[in-house]
């Protein structure tokens, strides 16, 4: 076993899409990897698809918007592996393009609950574990979005949470310094997952039109997260944007 194989990573939202791709890449790279999500069957399927690896995989069902479930999940991980070296705060949700006065309050609460409160709860638990374990330290990587910089039309809940994730990232990066806890953020644009499939057909643009957008293989995101995770703790990618080269992000508005 290599040194990295003795490290443990937690990936939230690991049953599908970006989370599944990243968790699988970490596992194959030698990280003991916890696949976390709401539906355990999807997590187990993802682990099975990864095939036989030298490192260990664990599926843990958890609703990250609920503090007690997050605490239970981290307790399970610490019992299984003894420490937490990496958290990829990935789980998130969006909502169809809608003007703010037509967005139900319960939708706002759901999006904030998963994207922001869930990220806070997982970071809170990871930070505590990393601060107290020996050797001390670890890394937290938050999944932001290019929406953390420029919104899509009709995306108030999602965009607000992704802007907030940037503040969470900066604060964790600052507060983690005395404890060898690094925190960075990956802002992803148009990775081809089931969630992003509509972009290949047509989505609302800033000028009021509907247009298809360029997408990229989700494996590119996994490669980028793996690079961020592989750095020694004295170095940190604070912010990284990985995006489909021809998507209209740079020219939004």
Does pLDDT of 3 surpass 80?
no
DSSP letter string over 93-119? Answer: ----S--GGGS-HHHHHHHHIIIIIIH
In tens, the pLDDT along 142-165 reads: 999 999 988 899 999 999 999 999
- Predicted pLDDT of residue 194: 81
Say whether pLDDT at 4 is over 60.
no
CB 36 within 8 A of CB 58: no
Mean pLDDT of the chain: 94
pLDDT category, 208, cuts 50, 70, 90? Answer: confident
Cα 163 to Cα 21: distance, rounded to the nearest angstrom:
24
Predicted TM-score of the model (pTM):
0.94
pLDDT above 60 for 5: no
Domain hosting 186: range is 4-251
Give catalytic status of residue 149 as yes or no. Answer: no
**For the chain, how many structural domains are there in total?**
1
Asked if pLDDT for residue 221 goes beyond 50, the answer is: yes
Query: What pLDDT band is residue 172 in, cutting at 50, 70 and 90?
Result: very high
Check residue 230 and give its pLDDT.
Answer: 97
Which position among 31, 35, 120, 158 bears the catalytic label? 158
For residues 110-118, give the mean pLDDT.
98
Higher pLDDT, 251 or 109: 109
Q: Measured between alpha carbons, how far is 195 from 114 in angstroms, rounded to an integer?
A: 16
Q: What percent of the chain has pLDDT over 90?
A: 85
Report the C-alpha gap between 121 and 70 in whole angstroms: 7
Can you give the CATH number for the domain in which 100 is found? Answer: 3.40.50.720
Q: Which residue is it, tokens 């809170």?
A: 124
pLDDT at residue 64 tops 90: yes
Question: In terms of residues, how long is the chain?
Answer: 253
Helical ranges in 29-94 per DSSP H: 40-50, 67-81
Opening angle at CA 73, ends 196 and 42, nearest 5? 40
Three-state DSSP state, 164: helix
Check if the beta carbon of residue 166 is closer than 8 Å to that of residue 208.
no
Q: Rounded CA gap, 216 and 12, in Å?
A: 21
Q: Which is more confidently placed, 150 or 124? A: 124
> pLDDT (tens digit, 9 = 90+) per residue, 73-86?
999 999 999 999 99
- The predicted pLDDT at position 253 comes to 54
A 10 A CB-CB count for 154 gives: 17
How many whole angstroms separate alpha carbon 160 and alpha carbon 94? 11
pLDDT band at 2 (very low <50, low <70, confident <90, very high): very low
Q: Give mean pLDDT, residues 217-235.
A: 97
* Contacting residues for 66 by C-beta, under 8 A, at least 6 apart: 121
| CA angle at 83 for the pair 137 and 238, rounded to the nearest 5° | 35
Does 29 have pLDDT greater than 90?
yes
pLDDT given at position 1: 38
Structure tokens at 84: 């937490």
What pLDDT is attached to residue 252?
Answer: 60
Work out the average pLDDT over 160-174: 98
pLDDT at 28 over 60: yes
Peptide bond into 55 cis (omega under 30): no
């Amino acid at each position: 076993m290599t040194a990295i194989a003795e490290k443990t990573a937690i990936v939230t939202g690991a049953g599908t899409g970006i989370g599944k791709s990243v968790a699988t890449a970490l596992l194959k790279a030698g990280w003991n990897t916890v696949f976390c999500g709401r539906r355990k069957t999807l997590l187990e399927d993802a682990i099975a698809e990864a095939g036989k690896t030298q490192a260990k995989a664990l599926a843990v069902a958890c609703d990250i918007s609920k503090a007690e479930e997050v605490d239970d999940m981290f307790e399970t991980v610490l019992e299984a592996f003894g420490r937490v070296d990496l958290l990829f705060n990935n789980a998130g949700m969006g909502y169809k393009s809608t003007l703010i006065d037509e967005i139900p309050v319960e939708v706002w609460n759901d999006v904030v609950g998963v994207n922001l409160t869930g990220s806070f709860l997982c970071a809170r638990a990871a930070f505590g574990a990393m601060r107290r374990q020996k050797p001390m330290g670890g890394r937290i990587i938050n999944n932001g979005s290019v929406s953390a910089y420029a919104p899509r039309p009709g995306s108030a809940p999602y965009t607000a949470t992704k802007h907030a994730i940037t503040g969470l990232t900066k604060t964790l990066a600052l507060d983690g310094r005395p404890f060898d806890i690094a925190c960075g953020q990956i802002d992803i644009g148009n990775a081809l997952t089931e969630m992003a499939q509509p972009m290949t057909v047509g989505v609302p643009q800033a000028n009021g039109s509907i247009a298809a957008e360029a997408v990229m293989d989700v494996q590119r995101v996994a490669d980028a997260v793996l690079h961020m995770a592989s750095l020694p703790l004295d170095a940190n990618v604070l912010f990284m944007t990985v995006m489909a080269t021809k998507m209209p992000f740079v020219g939004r508005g």
